[in-house]
Amino acid sequence: AQSVTQLGSHVSVSEGALVLLRCNYSSSVPPYLFWYVQYPNQGLQLLLKYTSAATLVKGINGFEAEFKKSETSFHLTKPSAHMSDAAEYFCAVSSPSFQKLVFGTGTRLLVSP
């Protein structure tokens, strides 16, 4: 069975500050890991994915995440937050056979001026 834990239902940062959203996973097989973003009243958009290649993954909008097997983590970072980054962020895991995605509970990012 696979699962994802996102620490912190809400994260608040100031514009220009570092963004760090935490994700830990549990998987009995080598995982594929994803970060999705959901803006208000919209569907989910893929930010980035890890599929067993480079452990440091760069995504859209300046986000990146590092797969750390020893820590079972896949934390999302961005060096400098923009107001437009305010949204809900979901970490998800699947197996390489990609039968389905298992999502974390989400983290709402709040960006203040």
Q: Which is nearer to another protein, 86 or 102 (CB)?
A: 102
Residue 32 binds another protein (CB under 8 A): yes
- Using the rule CB under 8 A, which residue among 41, 56, 70, 113 binds another protein? 41
* Alpha-carbon span 8 to 23, nearest angstrom: 10
Residue 86 binds another protein (CB under 8 A): no
Are 55 and 47 contacting, i.e. CB atoms less than 8 angstroms apart? no
Q: Which is nearer to another protein, 9 or 80 (CB)?
A: 9
CB of 61 to another protein, least distance (A): 16
* Structure token digits, residue 45: 């958009």
* Alpha-carbon span 34 to 51, nearest angstrom: 9
